[in-house]
Amino acid sequence: MAAPFLVLWDHSHLWGLLLCRGLAALGAPFYPVTCADVAGGTLWRDPPRALLVPGGFARRKFAALGPAGTAAIRDYVASGGTYFGTCGGAGLALSHDDGLRLCPWTRRPFADRLDHLVSGHVRLAANPDSALFPDALPPQLDVPVWWPAGFVPPAGQDTPDVTVVAAYNGAGPDLLLADIALGAMPDALLAACQERFGLTLTPGFLDGGACVIAGSFGKGRYVLSHAHLETPDSPQANAWLAHLLGLFTCGDRFARHVPAWDPAGEPTRFDDAHLARARRDMEAVIEAGIRSRLLFRRKDWLLGWRPGMPGFSLSNLAAMLAGAAALPPTPAARDYWRQTGPDFADRLAAFADRLAAFFPAQRLEITLSLVDRQAGADPHLAEERRELFGQSPGGGGLCAELAASLDGLLLRLLGGGDGGKDKR
């Protein structure tokens, strides 16, 4: 039997969970592997149809792979394998100090700090002649991006093996710039705001920059996308993902839609007291942030947040908790959580208690800064934030420790780690 798709799990968190949920919804067989598994030879023992690398922190993925893992992926692709990377997984494949150098292109530098605050649907102009783009979709389409970087060719070098499959073609209707509804802003109002503040609110890369690229490496190929095609209930993106999976398997047919995800409405399949307690505490944290007008509910599975707030770290924790509760427990997951769950629940409860005071204090600091800039500075609050969330934008502190525990649980629930070896 052909090997399933392998999903490189490390340092993906929410994005790894969304990709696995999307693959399951489309009917695509998959198995999560760690960077240590890759370094240990899993790609050559049973070569997969494709190695799928979700979003997340590319630098951390690269460090976790180490020299052995990096060489293993390059050898796998050079020998005829397929690498599909999304967002951070796409950045990992590029040519830079923390990249696999499968693709000679590199990361696009941010021209402005506003550039990396973009999220939501964007409009793309796809190359209809590319086999990587499905005939059933219009060449002008809307797909989701979540704080994308970008691709640029190396200066002064010809790279004929790299093709642009789709380029950015403007903002979609739900596009946000931080918490500003950029996509819904009338053109006249947008122009007036830009003139008033003397800056361009719409990032330049949305006008013609590469969003999806592809190329060859040795006998194999890579497809790199800043569009999150696995995003729930994004019909055109989901259909494109199904098309790519079919190409990677030389003709297998998959479903074309990933249903909307409402974590609160899903049945609980891993009915565990520590997990349930943690979810209640996490919900209290989110409600405290919303009451302080620092967070808001953007989608059922994703928070929005005021610029500078650690909203994604909290959204990530909440989604991982919900995803774990909705999966059937494996023996390996039960063993892991039996040892990890009680301490995790205690630590999350303490984390929630601190945030119950942190959010009102943060709101007060913001308000005071508008009245009296000297009164609005609290170094103790800044230090507490670093303890809770680490140094922005890396995502660390107590929140990262909690996410790491959940990461281990989800890996085992999805069949990776010590469990599910019989699934391959």
Residue 258 lies in a domain: no
Judged by DSSP in three states, 247 sits in helix
271 and 211 assigned to the same domain: no
Please report the pLDDT score of residue 239 as a whole number: 97
Q: Which residue has the higher pLDDT, 76 or 110?
A: 76
Confirm whether 112 is domain-assigned: yes
Q: Tell me, what's the pLDDT at 74?
A: 98
Pair (224, 334) in one structural domain: no
| pTM metric for this prediction | 0.94
Q: Do residue 277 and residue 338 come from a single domain?
A: yes
CATH number at residue 196: 3.40.50.880
Q: Are residues 194 and 272 in the same domain?
A: no
Residue 175 maps to a domain: yes
Q: pLDDT at residue 193 above 70? A: yes
| pLDDT confidence band for 375 (50 / 70 / 90) | low
What total number of domains does the chain contain? 2
* C-alpha span between 10 and 255 (Å, rounded): 27
> Is residue 159 very low, low, confident or very high in pLDDT (cuts 50, 70, 90)?
confident
Q: DSSP labels for 331-357?
A: HHHHHHHHHHHHHHHHHHHHHHHHHHH
Considering only residues 215 and 46, tell me which one the structure prediction assigns the higher pLDDT.
215
Band of pLDDT at residue 395, cut at 50, 70 and 90: confident
Using the 3D structure, point to which of 248, 273, 290 is the last residue of a domain: 248
The average confidence (pLDDT) of the chain is 91
* Pair 133, 226 in one domain: yes
Q: What is the pLDDT of residue 32?
A: 96
Asked which of 124-128, 335-339, 381-385 is least confident by mean pLDDT, the reply is 381-385
Q: What's the confidence (pLDDT) of residue 190?
A: 81
Q: Domain check: are 31 and 153 in the same one?
A: yes
Predicted local confidence at residue 420, as pLDDT: 39
Tell me: do 161 and 277 sit in the same domain: no
Give a yes or no: residue 134 inside a domain.
yes
**Last residue of a domain, which of 248, 279, 312?**
248
6-10, 59-63, 227-231, 420-424: which has the minimum mean pLDDT? 420-424
C-beta neighbour count of 30 within 10 angstroms:
23
Say if 29 falls within a structural domain: yes
pLDDT category of residue 423 using cuts at 50, 70 and 90: very low
Reported as a single tens digit per residue, the pLDDT across 200-250 is 777 777 888 999 999 999 999 999 999 999 999 999 999 999 999 999 999
Q: Between 307 and 227, whose confidence is greater?
A: 227
Structure tokens at 67: 């020299």
Q: What pLDDT, in 10s, does the model give residues 340-365?
A: 999 999 999 999 999 999 999 999 88
Tens digits of residue pLDDT in 58-109: 999 999 999 999 999 999 999 999 999 999 999 999 999 999 999 999 988 7
Are residues 30 and 179 both part of a single domain?
A: yes
pLDDT of residue 417: 74
For 198, residues 6+ apart whose C-beta sits below 8 A from its C-beta are none
- Is 400 a domain residue? yes
CA 325 to CA 258: how far, in whole Å?
Answer: 19
Q: Which domain holds residue 394?
A: 263-423
Of all residues in the chain, the percent with pLDDT exceeding 70 is 94
Q: Is residue 255 part of a domain?
A: no
Q: How confident is the model at residue 184 (pLDDT cuts 50, 70, 90)?
A: confident
Residue 71 lies in a domain: yes
CB atoms within 10 A of CB 372: 9
Low-confidence winner among 88-97, 283-292, 397-406, 409-418 (lowest mean pLDDT): 409-418
> Which residue in 16, 32, 14, 80 sits closest to 424, CA to CA?
32
pLDDT band at 377 (very low <50, low <70, confident <90, very high): low
Q: Is the domain of 187 the same as that of 274?
A: no
Give yes or no: residues 315 and 389 share one domain: yes
What is the per-residue pLDDT for 35? 97
Residue of 186, 139, 184, 198 lying closest to 166 (CA atoms)? 139
**Is it the case that residue 422 has pLDDT exceeding 50?**
no
Do residue 112 and residue 69 come from a single domain?
yes
pLDDT of residue 424 exceeding 70, the answer is no
Q: What per-residue confidence (pLDDT) applies to 9?
A: 96
Domain finish residue from 248, 273, 306? 248
Question: What's the pLDDT at 373?
Answer: 61
Query: Which of 269-278, 300-309, 414-423 has the lowest average pLDDT?
Result: 414-423
Q: What confidence score (pLDDT) does residue 67 get?
A: 97
Q: Does the CA dihedral 193-199-203-208 come out positive or negative?
A: positive
Residues in Cβ contact with 318 at an 8 Å cutoff, skipping those fewer than 6 apart: 263, 279, 282, 283, 286, 303
User: Do 213 and 333 share a domain, yes or no?
Assistant: no
